[in-house]
């Protein structure tokens, strides 16, 4: 998929197929939360997003599981820049934390809406390889809210 014109670039490659597998796991966990209401599932996602945004991405449980799936099914490496994927993981972390806070404050409708939005973007990444993080990053840059490289 072609990147947005102002997409952040770190010149560090990651496997886009791995990010799509991770997004599938995120989608499945979010659906499990919607069906069960177990907030621990979202807390697990928040921790995983935090690990992937930080320098500890190699120990992300979903990343490790995705490596196993990629190896088992012999899925090829498709290099892409890491920056938009990290930005998207940061956005996932923010959404996860907002879901947790909303649920703890018994703002159930807010929590459900945020969860559905998270599921939607995880679905887009997993099924179509569409990373909204790049486009959101570009939009924030165009609004002057962040510095775009």
Residue 105's domain comprises 13-142
Q: In terms of DSSP bridges, do strands 79-81 and 13-15 run parallel, antiparallel, or are they unpaired? A: antiparallel
* Closest by CA position to 102, among listed 49, 33, 47, 54: 33
pLDDT of residue 11: 77
For the stretch 27-41, pLDDT in tens is 999 999 999 999 999
Residues constituting the chain: 149
Q: Say if 7 falls within a structural domain.
A: no
Question: Is this prediction's pTM over 0.85?
Answer: yes
For the stretch 94-142, pLDDT in tens is 999 999 999 999 999 999 999 999 999 999 999 998 888 777 766 776 7
C-alpha 27/C-alpha 146 separation (Å) is 28
Q: Say if 50 falls within a structural domain.
A: yes
C-alpha 7/C-alpha 134 separation (Å) is 5
Distances (CA, A) of 42 to 17, 78, 105: 23, 28, 15
Please, are residues 102 and 110 in contact by the beta-carbon 8 Å criterion?
yes
Q: Say if 47 falls within a structural domain.
A: yes
| CB-based burial, 81-113: b 16+ in 10 Å, e otherwise | bbbbbbbbbbbbbebbbbbbebbeeeeeeebbe
Please, are residues 119 and 31 in contact by the beta-carbon 8 Å criterion?
yes
pLDDT above 80 for 90 = yes
Domains contained in the chain, number: 1
Q: Say if 149 falls within a structural domain.
A: no
Q: Which of 46-60, 65-79, 109-123, 128-142 has the lowest mean pLDDT?
A: 128-142
Q: Say if 43 falls within a structural domain.
A: yes
């Amino acid at each position: 998929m072609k990147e947005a014109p102002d997409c952040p670039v770190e010149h560090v490659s990651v496997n886009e197929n791995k990010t799509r597998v991770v997004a599938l796991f995120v989608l499945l966990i979010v659906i499990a939360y919607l069906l069960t209401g177990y907030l621990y599932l979202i807390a697990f996602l928040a921790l995983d997003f935090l690990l992937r945004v930080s320098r500890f991405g190699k120990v992300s449980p979903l990343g490790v599981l995705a490596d196993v799936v990629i190896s088992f099914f012999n899925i090829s490496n498709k290099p892409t820049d890491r920056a938009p994927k990290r930005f998207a993981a940061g956005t996932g972390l923010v959404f996860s934390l907002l879901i947790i806070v909303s649920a703890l404050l018994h703002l159930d409708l807010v929590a459900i809406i945020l969860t559905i939005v998270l599921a939607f973007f995880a679905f887009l990444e997993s099924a179509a390889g569409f990373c909204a993080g790049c486009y959101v990053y570009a939009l924030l840059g165009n609004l002057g809210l962040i510095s775009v490289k």
